[in-house]
Structure 1
């Protein structure tokens, strides 16, 4: 078994049991039962995100990602990168401390800034490489808008395509907004012209992400991951 096991979740985080089970159903549906993967969460801390922290949307996403991670990794911990103009914090959320954890971290952070994707991406790359992990990584990257440097974000994504990390971007906000046109473009960058494999996906969770059903959220988070795994294994990026 790749994850921590249902018994451990029941003991350490009973509030996540339903999320853990729902994530497991989605993993099996996508042919990922028994798959090992490190899971990261990147969350936007720019000024326009204020209401999503206040209404619990970011905490809800963190809990759902932790429920998914508990199926894929056996440490019960998700590294969380908070970013705005710079990287604001790198913290862990774990089965033992998930309740109210986002609010607790944010209470120690400073002013909310702008949106620099590439700095958060660089932080994830460093963390993954420094960890010495041999499993692939699924990076859930949440934002409510486009980056201040599109060129830098695209360059980092294309460079990262040679590493065993898949970037699943999640948009919070109005589905009619053009703020997410760049992420749709990233999702469709040509292979192999721009990157060696398709290492990113994007889906829009809407203006109230908490209303997206758990099963749908997990299906969207995992929708492109199996295809990336197959392509990355074929290129020798992911081993095993």
Structure 2
């Protein structure tokens, strides 16, 4: 079924230029933690939610639509990658987090690891150049294929995808179809992280009907520069265990 959905994806027209004027964000008020400290904080959250010792392949998907420019400029996106790396060190055994950048299409990919993370996201972002529109389906399809081909999937290890965006997508029905089909066919949990005020669709995905299991959550970071590490980790991991339990016994779709 997923193959039929993905076969409908067609190239889109060239992305519209980014807005001419973007208000610079205010500086973050809190100090940023080291990856070692983030690893400890993530462990506390995992334990709180009954996930201590759980294995998962962790992926990070990052929005590169034009409105995201301030969050890259002030280091907010770079820090999110470090936070996800800290989480991954508790869940994943390969020491790296695959990173997918998307806008109108897949803009590029990289990975972060303890050996190579400092400044990596910003450097990759700048090298990619033009920032486009907001098409979730491109990134979702890419991560599904990536996990299917992974050693983790071959070993029966589920995926936890931290999917960040600051805007509603330009392809809502297809995004909904992919999420519904993934709830049937994929061992993937989608932890959506919304930046700013314009992410109502992420809440809709969190509550989407017609799925075999609830395979998504939404953590809304209205001002991500000032969200505590612990709050972010709880937002990402809070529904993950419920999904893990549901995928190993669910039989009826949500309504």
In the superposition, the TM-score normalised over structure 1's length comes to 0.87
Deviations 1:66-108 (A, max 9, x none): 0000000111100001000000012111110110011121121
Is contact 1:81-1:89 (8 Å) kept? Answer: yes
8 Å CA contact 2:42, 2:86 repeated in 1: yes
Which runs of no fewer than 5 residues in structure 2 stay unpaired?
1-32
Work out the number of aligned pairs and report it. Answer: 215
Alignment of 1:187-206 (within 5 A): 187-190=206-209, 194-206=210-222
Tell me what 1:227 maps to.
242
Please show how residues 66-105 of structure 1 align to structure 2 within 5 Å. Answer: 66-105=85-124
Distance 1:132 1:27 in 2: 23
Work out the CA distance in 1 between the residues paired with 2:225 and 2:204.
25
Separation in structure 1 between the aligned mates of residue 34 and residue 44 of structure 2, nearest angstrom: 18
In the alignment, structure 1 residue 33 sits paired with structure 2 residue 49: no
User: In the alignment, is residue 125 of structure 1 matched against residue 144 of structure 2?
Assistant: yes
* Structure 1 spans left out of the alignment, 5+ residues: 1-13
Deviation at 1:185, TM superposition (A): 1.2
TM-score (norm 2): 0.82
1:39-78 pair list within 5 angstroms: 39-78=58-97
Q: CA deviation at 1:149?
A: 0.5
- Aligned residue for 1:168, secondary structure, equals strand
Alpha-carbon contact 1:86-1:116 (below 8 Å) kept = yes
